[in-house]
Amino acid sequence: MRKVQVLLVAGAASALTALVTLVGMAGAEANVVPANTEAPTVVGTASDGQLVVAKDGEWSGTNPMTFTYQWLRCDGNGANCATIAGATAQTYRVVTADVDHRLKVSVTARNVTGTASATSRGSAAVARPAGATRLADGRYSIPATSVQLPERLVISGVEFAPRVLNSRQSFTGRFRVTDTRGYVVRDAIVLVTGVPLGWILQPQEVKTNVDGLVTLQLQPTTRLRLVRGGSMVMFLRARKDGDSILAGISSRRLVRVRTASPS
């Protein structure tokens, strides 16, 4: 009887050992470091101002996993890549510095066991906005339709001739429109209004030319006060055709031209 008990105890110990071994093996299988099985990809249009998105790719290993991102700017061949400072979200807004480069994204997977990283193939070479035309001075002109939020129009250049008004003869206003990336914008619609109202005759809205310029002849009225050290303020607005005049990518600016006593 005692021999049978010993055998039973020994058998139970062996079974327990086997069970512990199986549990250990199961635990080992349940905690596997991430491994990339399909590379991440860059999705979207690689064009200045557009949004591209990192797709995680496929990963094996213990779930749950979390993913972090680092965008890279590479040369035109997709080599010599460097990290883009601050570009650590799953989405990335392409900037002018990326033009003619290729973008990649490094995705890092993390779980309770460890981490692993994989890098996507390069995007297409980043292009300038649709309709971009190189001007003789080396700058690029784009149509207003290529400016989309969060980019906006900017009234970046203002010139008057003459610079000081000492008569109520017509004078010339010349205004340039660019966008927040620095592109010259053609076909932007510019409005000029005298402040107070009635100090100049109200001109019609005019579209910028390929150089982003509009030139207007502005006609003062008898309300304009010609005094030494005085000035006349003008309200400028640039907008895109079809946009609300109070929203969209429109821009506003107050400028002034100086006045003097009649000579």
- Give the Cα separation of 241 and 208 in Å (integer): 12
Sequence-ordered list of residues with C-beta below 8 angstroms from that of 199, at least 6 positions apart, any chain: 220, 221, 223, 224, 232
CATH numeric code, 35-119: 2.60.40.2700
Question: In the numeric block, which tokens belong to residue 53?
Answer: 């998105």
pLDDT in tens, 41-74: 999 999 999 999 999 999 999 999 999 999 999 9
E strand or H helix at 22: helix 2-30
Q: What mean pLDDT is reported for the chain?
A: 90
- Predicted pLDDT at 247: 85
- Predicted pLDDT at 31: 87
Between 26-30, 136-140, 151-155, 232-236, the lowest mean confidence (pLDDT) is in 26-30
Whether 253 has a pLDDT exceeding 90, the answer reads yes
CATH numeric code, 133-259: 2.60.40.1930
Q: Identical fold at 35-119 and 133-259?
A: yes
Whether 171 has a pLDDT exceeding 50, the answer reads yes
- Predicted pLDDT at 43: 97
- Predicted pLDDT at 1: 47
Taking the CA atoms of residue 224, residue 227, residue 229 and residue 232 in that order, the dihedral angle to the nearest 10 degrees is 0
* CA angle (60 as vertex; 53, 85 as ends), nearest 5: 35
pLDDT in tens, 84-128: 999 999 999 999 999 999 999 999 999 999 999 999 999 999 999
- Give the Cα separation of 50 and 40 in Å (integer): 19
- Predicted pLDDT at 246: 82
- Predicted pLDDT at 188: 98
CB 57 within 8 A of CB 101: no
Mean pLDDT, residues 199-213 taken together: 97
Sequence-ordered list of residues with C-beta below 8 angstroms from that of 193, at least 6 positions apart, any chain: 202, 234, 235, 237
User: HSE of 258 in the Cβ direction (CA atoms, 13 Å)?
Assistant: 7
Mean pLDDT, residues 171-197 taken together: 96
Domain ranges (residues) in the chain: 1-30, 35-119, 133-259
- Give the Cα separation of 146 and 142 in Å (integer): 7
pTM listed for this prediction:
0.78
User: What's the pLDDT band for 263 if we cut at 50, 70, 90?
Assistant: confident
Q: Percent helix, strand, coil in the chain (nearest 5)?
A: 15, 40, 45
Mean pLDDT, residues 241-261 taken together: 93
Find residue 69's DSSP bridge partners. 107
Residues written for the chain? 263
Taking the CA atoms of residue 238, residue 241, residue 244 and residue 247 in that order, the dihedral angle to the nearest 10 degrees is -50
E strand or H helix at 4: helix 2-30
